[in-house]
Amino acid sequence: MENIKVIARSKDSGSTKSLLKKGMVPGIIYGKNSEPSQIVFEDKALQKLMHSGVFYSKIINLDVEGKKEKVLPKQLQYHPVTDKLIHFDFLRVQDDTKVTVEIEVEFLNRDICPGLKQGGVLNLVRRVVELSCNANNIPEKLQYDLVSAEIGDAIKISNIELPDGVKPTITDRDFVVATLVPPTIEVEEEPTPEEEVEGEAIEGETEEGTDSKEDQDSGDSSEDKKAEPAEDKPK
């Protein structure tokens, strides 16, 4: 990969605000037992690298005003309101520098996978796997072939071929990366004959045991009439 030219930042470079207005992004290079270096990256060039798909797992060769640097992107900082990139951190590395990176897992032959053709679903437990390796040996991606995968299969890290010198950071177990699960079908349960009989019995009791409002009102009126005292007849 060709060297990307960046500018060393100095007191004469101006404030962060003025640099951002000019389409430049300030950042820092640190690591390898050396003093941190302040640099300025052209925003368009940095955005192009960021959208390459493997930004955090790819070594970038920089030319800092004639000084060559190999770096690995570690952190990006954005403005909390505008969401604009305002700062970056790069780790200075050599070929034998041990680094930790997250690498995407690609699944091949989905179209002819027996389990998927039967209606199964590929459940991704981990979209990326964290790996430890030398800076000059970072894999672009991991791959697993689904050509013979069946429903019920669990794809573990031991099933994925890793390059020499590349190891997962999780070493205490053979963790699952993906599973091939059957499709989820919701079936509405039909009531049993016993439940139907109970339902009819409850409905019948309600109809027979509940007086209508008119009957209640009529009964109340009769009782009221009986309770009225008889009028005294004139003698």
Whether 228 maps to a domain, the answer reads no
We report the CATH number of the domain holding residue 10 as 2.40.240.10
In this prediction, residues 15-33 reach a mean pLDDT of 93
- The pLDDT confidence band at residue 3, using thresholds 50, 70 and 90, is confident
Q: What domain range includes position 136?
A: 99-181
Clarify whether residues 120 and 173 are in a common domain: yes
Q: Cβ distance 131 to 166 under 8 Å? A: yes
Q: What is the pLDDT of residues 165-205, one digit of tens each?
A: 999 999 999 999 999 999 877 666 666 666 555 555 555 55
Whether 131 maps to a domain, the answer reads yes
Clarify whether residues 88 and 103 are in a common domain: no
Clarify whether residues 119 and 85 are in a common domain: no
- Residue 50 above 80 pLDDT? yes
Number of domains comprising the chain: 2
We report the CATH number of the domain holding residue 126 as 2.170.120.20
Residue with tokens 């027979």: 208
Whether 205 maps to a domain, the answer reads no
pLDDT for 32: 82
Clarify whether residues 67 and 123 are in a common domain: no
In whole angstroms, give the CA distance from residue 26 to residue 40.
4
In whole angstroms, give the CA distance from residue 76 to residue 47.
11
Report the run of H or E that residue 218 belongs to, with start and end: helix 213-227
Q: What is the pLDDT of residues 214-224, one digit of tens each?
A: 444 545 544 44
Clarify whether residues 116 and 175 are in a common domain: yes
pLDDT for 227: 46
Whether 79 maps to a domain, the answer reads yes
Clarify whether residues 138 and 171 are in a common domain: yes
Task: Write the CB contacts of 192 (distance below 8 Å, at least 6 apart in sequence).
Answer: none
Q: Are strands 128-134 and 167-168 parallel, antiparallel or unpaired?
A: antiparallel
pLDDT for 206: 47
